[in-house]
Amino acid sequence: VGDSPATARVSVHVPPPRTAGYDVVIGAGLLHALPRLVAAAAPADRYAVIAPAPVAALYGEAVLDGLRTAGLHADLLSFPDGEQHKTRATWAALTDRMLEIGCGRGSAVIALGGGVAGDLAGFVAATYMRGVAVVQVPTTLLAMIDAAVGGKTAVDTDAGKNLVGVFHPPRVVIMDPVVLGTLPDDAIRAGLAEAVKHGVMLDATYFRWIEDNAEALLRRDTEALEHLVTRSVELKAAVVADDPFDSAGRAVLNFGHTVGHALEHDAGYTLDHGFAVAAGMVVEALAGEQLGVTEQGTAARIRRLLLQLGLPATPDLQRRPDHGAAAADRLVAAMRLDKKSRGRAVHCALPARIGTSARTSAPTGDRGWTHDVPDHVLLYALGRPAGTPEVV
């Protein structure tokens, strides 16, 4: 850039932030060690424990008592449960509450709950007096293996999910698999769907381990759940470290999500995210096989495991009166409107085979991590149950 001779240029150097990383600590009964872990990783003059009302009712008093017994100053701030409350209004109310109780720049937030609590309380912490420390304490399986690692915070607007937020890495993430005992069965299954995704895209041995331990996982064997959480966190941590700001490589974690989001949207968000992703993985793997990107038989093997885990393995459009034609058209139209498709062809992150993601040689905006999928291939994959010979 050739400036005029009269132009001055001053370079402002921005050194990297102080916090270079964080630990995820996983162990049965670890909720009891929370005060010690929090004091070590996020020393603060005051803690705001932010939790949705049902989680606050279950664990709030125990967590507060623990913190106070350890000599720490803590308050419990609860908010109404549900994605519909992950809004700027709830964020503002929680911020105002922290101001009222006297939290300052040296205070910290403890996010206690599922993915909504992590996203919302994380965004409160990120924007409170230009950022205070946050400790993530996920209490659902899905939040443990997905939302709590990676530093994403966000709230929704009327225009869509997660449209407002920042990256704000936690100081420490504390996961106690014992709390999974109080979850409904569907919430466990929804978490398992994301674990299957990690196996498909990143680790064949892990996928095989889930196949071999499906029964133990469904009856919530603590040791099995602990291994599942640990391995999924390890895999996600490696992906996040390669792509901290979600610009490219993190796209592998979107396997199943392009179709899954469309299914959620089409169901008016009455369909559970994990269930939508389960069906989405089978459809996308079928599309990958059709494109020659994914090894034949991959979709069938994913489908078999999902059924073992009690998860839906197809969108099941065929049962509708028109055999799914109108629904399939609607779904493809929804995918085209997705914020990540940027007006181009629908694109998906796809496996090459179980345990390995496929890169494309024609780099897209995701630098080769996603594949353009033509509409007719999507319609084909949506219209046929997995594993039938017609797909090949």
Scanning residues 36 to 95, which ones bind a second copy (CB under 8 A)?
Answer: 36-37, 40, 88, 92, 95
Tell the smallest beta-carbon distance from residue 392 to a second copy (Å): 37
Q: Per CB under 8 A, which region of 26-34, 51-59, 66-74, 265-273 contacts a second copy? A: 26-34
Other beta carbons less than 10 A from residue 234's beta carbon: 16
Tell the smallest beta-carbon distance from residue 120 to a second copy (Å): 13
Do residues 136 and 170 lie in contact, with contact meaning Cβ atoms separated by under 8 Å? yes
State which of residues 116, 141, 240, 306 lies at the interface with a second copy (CB under 8 A).
240
Which positions from 293 through 332 interact with a second copy, judged by CB under 8 A?
A: none
Q: Per CB under 8 A, which region of 27-35, 65-73, 256-264, 319-327 contacts a second copy? A: 27-35
State which of residues 149, 282, 287, 305 lies at the interface with a second copy (CB under 8 A).
149
Beta bridge partners of 174: 25
User: Whose Cβ is closer to a second copy: residue 90's or residue 298's?
Assistant: 90
Tell the smallest beta-carbon distance from residue 226 to a second copy (Å): 7
> CA nearest 58: which of 37, 31, 24, 89?
31
Q: How many residues bind a second copy (CB under 8 A)?
A: 78
Do residues 252 and 240 lie in contact, with contact meaning Cβ atoms separated by under 8 Å? no
State which of residues 69, 130, 270, 361 lies at the interface with a second copy (CB under 8 A).
130
The token duo for 251 is 């796209």
State which of residues 186, 245, 330, 337 lies at the interface with a second copy (CB under 8 A).
245
Is 79 strand, coil or helix? strand
C-alpha–C-alpha distance, residues 92 and 96, integer Å? 6
User: Whose Cβ is closer to a second copy: residue 16's or residue 321's?
Assistant: 16
**DSSP per residue, 338-384:** SGGGTTSS-EE--EEETTEE---SS--TTTTSSEE--HHHHHHHHHS
Do residues 52 and 78 lie in contact, with contact meaning Cβ atoms separated by under 8 Å? yes
Do residues 173 and 143 lie in contact, with contact meaning Cβ atoms separated by under 8 Å? no
> CA nearest 293: which of 252, 249, 351, 250?
351
State which of residues 15, 184, 292, 389 lies at the interface with a second copy (CB under 8 A).
15
State which of residues 62, 70, 163, 333 lies at the interface with a second copy (CB under 8 A).
163
Which positions from 100 through 129 interact with a second copy, judged by CB under 8 A?
A: 100, 104-106, 126-129
User: Whose Cβ is closer to a second copy: residue 68's or residue 97's?
Assistant: 97
